[in-house]
Structure 1
């Protein structure tokens, strides 16, 4: 009997000792449908990859910010009606090329670093894609999609090792109609608005595309009205920022000079020999003093030096201290000096500090960077990892984190000091403003990543922070880009990279706090929590409705 004969194995031979039934014949139509579904799925994967690359182009140095909306719309449309697993895969396929394109500036360390970090960050797009797929079957799904984008950034900004906030949708929209929303709910609200606009456009596209085949029928124009309404709502969300007042009036002002001393070379070995970078900043400050004495430049109230302007500990190196004293005495006003300082009690540790150096009393108040960069300023699991990754030897000492916001009295101004990558973290900047900072200073050293696009990405964050907190921001960089950013996010002055330069400006000082400063992280927690709650509710409802079985994905052709 046919049912008792041995069926061939995968290679066409009989399986030893296994009486198998003959394989059932497949219908030709079923085979054709399966092949068509694979082809369409492959196209969807390619579209997801292309959307990830497009999202990278939305960020500096390219600044094609509308692509951030397009990328969200594409992912929302791709996962619509799919299973959670398919959505997760599509989310990863978007996330990996996005981060490779965004973080390619890390190639100065090694392309393995670019790929490794991009892979880790792309893993956060796996639950994002799954959540978007599951919630896409709920009413008002574009709203839940926007909340899930906030949830993805909420998680990525915190874990692992304190998080890595690079690549937030808000940071691609620092000079767009969405930007003023930062004054109400910070970067998370900007991300939410961008994602909501994109998801609404996806909803409109999914409604309109099937109508293109039947546009000549009598019902087609009426059926298109909801899609047109969704498009209008997406435009209204984008335009909502114009209705948000951005406070810019100054309570008083302070004159500042920003010194960019430059470095001898770019890349990992920018430090060169000891005292080189410090001497560059001393020489630029002495030139400023000469201009002041000659009447070519008015004497500022204070001078700002960047992160790592002193490459030696000025408390322990008499040569470094004497050089700083010479510069401060010549200019005759306090200087905020960026320096690496040996930890006073923990041997082998160093602190990244901003030190107020007065012409009469010398070094005074200081701020210690609270969030050192993993693998750049300290090595997690050093004993274990250094045995297999020899490159970690280039970080010989771990940076010790500070514990207090960087509010410093520099001459007549009460400034908030934020060091380098800390500008990407909502809580650090917000705590500094709420502690009394009347303007913000971002001391940074981007010499390792010069001419790679990283300085532009970091400067964009300063623009968003200015609007978010209603504060002028000064970026002081060793090799560029140094800049003066007004409270409305406008870049008033900026330097070229790898040049020695001095910027002078009247800096507005403000005491009022924005709504964003007052509400803190509440909008982010609320939006992220709502998105996760709707995802969980949709998943539970699906399982109950299917008797414990997950709902099957819709046909590929429907997408």
Structure 2
């Protein structure tokens, strides 16, 4: 070793001896090159398309692991900024079509901004994937775990930032038909995401081993077979997780009323009145069917979000209409209502229990805790208006509630969450730890489409398994339906139709492991991701010092 200008320089011969003494796998990895840039771009875009097809309405869940693998392979051995660019391409290919339902009635700008924002998180993931690449110099088969923890960390960040985050498009929500769904009972959505990404990491490992065997005809193909066996073993592990087929508690009969909405073109007040009238009329029809013996008498009727956009606590006519429906059916109705107040220009998105004879029970009232920014309230309205005056379509800001949606509805304790809240882990879990025996998701999909509704139903399926609870989703226009604790869907309605579905459910008590541990699996996996990033920084610094001053042919990190 010599010093030149105060900087340690290693003689080329010394470097060669160090390399010769390194394990063969390390030498091979140091000789690897990133994929040619055009190939990497195709892989990144293909990864986004594969991820998209894993989600409803397509539902080809194995493609989620393929999408993870394509992005990981594209970013491997590249500089972090190149990995970020490739991750961004994957994000755009995934989120632009996945969130296409957001532009149906609000224009292209909100859709474009939201899609690009979400793609930015996959850009961070691509940069992180490239950054940790040197770790596999000595830990090649650790790459699946690295891939898994990085995906969990990316989703943990995306689920919380900015303005409370937007968890749509989590890997876990693509697995509603997969054996991996069962893992939700152990560690919730983060554990399912981790397992999908680990499977994708094994696919990358199989690709590397296959390429090495192809380049060196004398090399065994055993590593390829081992990696592919691991890919198949990951979802098979899910089959070993015991989950409930149904709740073991008291039987209750629940009716979902999907009143549908009238054609577009009515003025605002007429539209609101028509939606309320639709749900009242459908409930009275249900009462007639019960009286005739055509349907069993329910213990509870659930109306969807926005079934009464007219505040029934302040508008006597709206209150009278709901009361007539409750009196006709003779059981309480969980009404999705927009309530004015508490302050001037403020409103609340609420689930309100309405009893026959006595009317609304203000002690059993849930106010949505996680209103949607730029849809239900506008942060920094004056600044946002400079970008688009469309923000003023949100006339009044929805204020958040402060307590979980635990409602005592006669024989059942409900865990009420409203619309997009089903995507947030803690909002759903808080109802279960608060005593909920049945999960209820009230939603309004009238301004979206059937793809959005089916994506939301996939989230309900995961929540049912995660907490071992029967669940239901009640929508204004569909898709509505019941979900058993093992994730099976029953009586799913068609989209944009009027429907009444009645089903007997068995309530559930007790807590799954996922309910008990809460966010700790996500915290642990995110900590490992941060540790991996730090270790990669040390590895890069060490390798940089080792090769300082030595001419290097070719570039190891890629463009």
TM-score, normalised by the number of residues in structure 2:
0.88
Name the SS of the counterpart of 2:271 in structure 1.
coil
Query: Which runs of structure 2 are paired with 1:154-169 in the superposition (5 Å)?
Result: 154-169=156-171
How far, CA to CA, are the matches of 2:35 and 2:210 in structure 1?
23
Any residues of structure 2 matched to 1:361-376 within 5 Å, and which? 361-364=358-361, 365-376=364-375
Deviations 1:319-338 (A, max 9, x none): 00010010000001111011
Written as runs of structure 1 = structure 2, the 5 A alignment for 1:345-424 is: 346-364=343-361, 365-424=364-423
1:112, distance to aligned residue in structure 2 (A): 2.4
* Secondary structure of 2:39 counterpart: helix
Q: 1:250 to 1:210 in 2, by over 3 A?
A: same
Question: What are the superposed Cα offsets for residues 499-558 of structure 1, whole Å, 9 maximum, x if unpaired?
Answer: 111000001200011000000000001001101211111112212331399999975899
Cα deviation 1:338-370 (Å, max 9, x = unaligned): 1000123x1110000100111122100110000
1:415-469, Cα deviation, whole Å (9 max, x unpaired)? 1101000000001001111110001000000000034x11011011001111111
Mapped to 2, the partners of 1:268 and 1:382 lie a distance apart of: 28
2:77 to 75, 81, 97: 81
**What's the offset of the Cα at 1:229?**
1.3
Asked if 1:132 corresponds to 2:134, the answer is no
Whether contact under 8 Å (1:267, 1:449) holds in the other structure is no
**CA distance in 2: counterparts of 1:142 and 1:130, whole angstroms:** 17
* Alignment equivalent of 1:97, drawn from 72, 78, 93: 93
Aligned to 2:11: none
Alignment check: 8 A CA contact 2:34 2:74 kept: no
Runs of at least 5 residues in structure 1 that lack an aligned partner in the other structure: 1-36
> 2:150: which partner in 1?
148
Match for residue 315 of structure 2 among 289, 314, 317: 317
Pair 1:530–1:270, CA change in 2 (3 A): farther
Q: Secondary structure at the match of 1:306?
A: coil
* Superposition pairs of residues 206-285 of structure 1, within 5 angstroms: 206-215=208-217, 219-220=218-219, 222=220, 224-247=221-244, 248-265=246-263, 272-285=270-283
In structure 2, relative to structure 1, the CA distance for the partners of 1:241 and 1:38 (3 Å cut) is closer
Corresponding residue for residue 111 of structure 1:
108
SS at the partner of 1:437? coil
Cα contact 2:302–2:333 (8 A) shared by 1: yes
Q: SS of the counterpart of 1:546?
A: helix
CA shift digits 1:156-200 (9 cap, x unpaired): 000000000001000001120111000000000000000001111
Distance in 1 between residues matched to 2:266 and 2:545, nearest whole Å = 58
Preserved CA contact (<8 Å) 2:262 2:271: no
- Pair 1:61-2:57 in alignment: yes
SS of residue paired to 1:513: coil
C-alpha distance in 2 between matches for 1:266 and 1:449: 13
Deviation by residue 1:282-341 (Cα, 9 ceiling, x = unmatched): 000011111111121121111111111112000110100010010000001111011000
Deviates more, 1:236-245 or 1:206-215: 206-215
Q: Report which stretch shifted further, 266-275 or 485-494.
A: 266-275
Does residue 171 in structure 1 map to residue 173 in structure 2?
A: yes
1:38–1:229 Cα change, 3 Å: closer
The answer as to 2:204 corresponding to 1:202 is yes
1:277–1:536 distance in 2 versus 1, CA, 3 Å:
same
Q: Secondary structure at 2:57's aligned position in 1?
A: coil
Residue in 2 that maps onto 1:193: 195
Query: In structure 2, what is the Cα distance between the partners aligned to 1:462 and 1:48?
Result: 30
Mapped contact 1:40–1:557 kept (Cα < 8 A): no
Deviates more, 1:384-393 or 1:479-488: 384-393
Partner deviation per Cα, 1:379-407 (whole Å, 9 max, x = no partner): 11112322542211211000000010101
1:183 corresponds in structure 2 to 185
Contact 1:83 1:553 in 2 (8 A): no
Secondary structure in structure 1 of the residue aligned to 2:233: helix
Matches within 5 A, 1:439-454: 439-451=438-450, 453-454=451-452
Aligned residue for 2:539? 541
Structure 2 Cα separation of the partners of residues 87 and 68 of structure 1: 19
Output the CA distance in 2 between the equivalents of 1:40 and 1:299: 66
Output the CA distance in 2 between the equivalents of 1:476 and 1:489.
Answer: 16
1:6 is aligned to none
SS in 2 for 1:273: helix
Looking at structure 2, the residues matched to 99 and 271 of structure 1 have their Cα atoms a distance apart, in angstroms, of: 34
Instruction: Tell me whether 48-57 or 393-402 shows the greater mean CA deviation.
Output: 48-57
Shift of the 381–360 alpha-carbon distance from structure 1 to 2, 3 Å rule, reads same
| Structure-1 residue corresponding to 2:8 | none
Inter-CA distance 269–525: structure 2 relative to 1 (3 Å threshold) = farther
Q: Which moved more, 1:225-234 or 1:399-408?
A: 225-234
State the match for 1:41 in structure 2. Answer: 37
| Preserved CA contact (<8 Å) 2:184 2:191 | yes
Q: Tell me which residue corresponds to 1:469.
A: 467
Cα distance change on mapping 1:354 and 1:395 into 2, 3 Å: same
Aligned 8 A contact 1:264 1:272 in 2: no
With over 3 angstroms needed to count, the CA separation of the structure-2 counterparts of 1:242 and 1:279, relative to structure 1, is same
Structure 1 vs Structure 2 CA RMSD: 2.3
The TM-score normalised by the length of structure 1 is 0.88
CA radius of gyration, larger in = 1
Q: Deviations over 1:216-273 (max 9, x none)?
A: xxx32x3x21222122122212211000001234211110111011101369988753
Distance change in 2, residues 1:125/1:413 (3 Å): same
Looking at structure 1, the residues matched to 554 and 515 of structure 2 have their Cα atoms a distance apart, in angstroms, of: 44
Instruction: Provide the C-alpha distance between the structure 1 equivalents of 2:510 and 2:396, rounded to a whole number of angstroms.
Output: 40
